[in-house]
């Protein structure tokens, strides 16, 4: 139900992020939410409409990018280890990539018969979704023979940011919305989600004046008596 979570779109997102630039963000004054999906704010530059999922995804993505890069003793032990069994062809690929998985803190223990055991995981994993996350990470290798550690790290950050962000149709309290906009303003690139979709749409005061025909088009008549 969330198309951005498939592997093909992860790939596209990764490619786009390669050429990303840094930029400055306008000062925003929040004034409302629409349909549990869009946040409205005004600033000196005019009206800003923000996609709350894309905004949070961007914030989380920048957070995960750092967290995932910090592999150390940062591990959470599982009470019940995760047991993963794969077909032989997949197991061979996993075997080839065990070191790359370990580079991100996923230490799969060989349990024979194409089976692996995971006893602990990085702390950025979401509780209750450990198996789903590790399976999706393994899928990245099964679907891409040339996956580098750098790309693996990046794709995992994109995947996690999407998973952990509020979806549409979710009411935000005014305070939560303001905090989200504040966080967004501190992002390296607040203008796009990691999949390349826009986080905000901007209408300048000029745009608004045009929309409401407050600015006279010299070729047009009929609005002369209005002010």
Which residues here bind Zn ion, judged by CB under 5 A? 4, 57, 162, 193, 195
Return the structure tokens found at 175.
């305070």
| CB closer to Zn ion, 55 vs 177 | 55
**Pick 26 or 196: Cβ nearer Zn ion:** 196
204 SS3 class? coil
Using the minimum distance from each CB to Zn ion, give the nearer residue, 121 or 195. Answer: 195
Q: How far is the CB of 125 from Zn ion (least distance, A)?
A: 18
Our CB check for Zn ion shows the closer of 55 and 84 to be 55
Nearer to Zn ion, 10 or 108 (CB): 10
Look at residues 19, 50, 58, 7 and name the one whose alpha carbon lies nearest to residue 193: 58
Q: Work out how close the CB of 3 gets to Zn ion at its nearest, in angstroms, rounded to a whole number.
A: 9
Burial code of 207-219, b = ≥16 C-beta within 10 A, e = fewer?
Answer: eeeeeeeeeeeee
Where on the phi/psi map is residue 82: left (φ > 0), alpha (ψ -120 to 50), or beta? beta
Q: Give, for 181, the enclosing helix (H) or strand (E).
A: helix 174-185
Please report how close the Cβ of residue 67 comes to Zn ion at its closest, in angstroms. 18
SS3 167: coil
Nearest distance from residue 159's CB to Zn ion, in Å? 9
Which residues 6+ apart lie within 8 Å of 84 measured at CB? Answer: 108, 115, 116, 117, 118, 131, 134, 135, 138
> Whose Cβ is closer to Zn ion: residue 6's or residue 225's?
6
Q: How far is the CB of 10 from Zn ion (least distance, A)?
A: 10
The radius of gyration of the chain's CA atoms, rounded to the nearest angstrom, is 23
User: Please, what is the minimum distance in Å from the beta carbon of residue 92 to Zn ion?
Assistant: 32
Nearer to Zn ion, 54 or 106 (CB): 54
- Residue 134 CA, distance from chain mean position: 18
Sheet harboring 38-43: ordered strands across? 29-34, 38-43, 46-51, 200-203
Q: In whole angstroms, how close is the CB of 51 to Zn ion at the nearest point?
A: 9
């Amino acid at each position: 139900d969330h198309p951005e979570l498939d592997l093909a779109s992860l790939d596209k997102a990764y490619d786009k992020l390669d050429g990303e630039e840094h930029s400055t963000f306008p000062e925003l004054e929040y004034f409302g939410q629409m349909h549990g999906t869009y946040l409205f704010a005004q600033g000196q530059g005019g009206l800003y409409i923000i996609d709350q999922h894309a905004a949070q995804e961007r914030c989380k993505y920048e957070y995960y990018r750092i967290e995932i890069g910090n592999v150390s003793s940062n591990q959470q032990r599982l009470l019940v280890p995760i047991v993963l069994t794969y077909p032989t062809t997949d197991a061979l690929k996993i075997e080839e990539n065990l070191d790359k998985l370990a580079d991100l803190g996923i230490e799969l223990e060989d349990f024979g018969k194409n089976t692996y055991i995971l006893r602990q995981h990085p702390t950025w994993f979401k509780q209750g979704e450990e198996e789903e996350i590790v399976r999706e990470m393994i899928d990245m290798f099964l679907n891409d023979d040339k996956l580098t550690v750098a790309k693996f790290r990046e794709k995992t950050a994109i995947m996690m940011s999407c998973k952990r962000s509020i979806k549409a149709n979710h009411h935000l309290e005014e305070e939560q919305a303001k905090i989200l906009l504040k966080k967004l303003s501190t992002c390296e690139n607040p203008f796009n989600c990691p999949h390349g979709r826009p986080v905000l749409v901007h209408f300048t005061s000029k745009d608004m004046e045009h929309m409401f025909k407050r600015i006279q088009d010299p070729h047009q008549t009929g609005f002369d008596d209005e002010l």
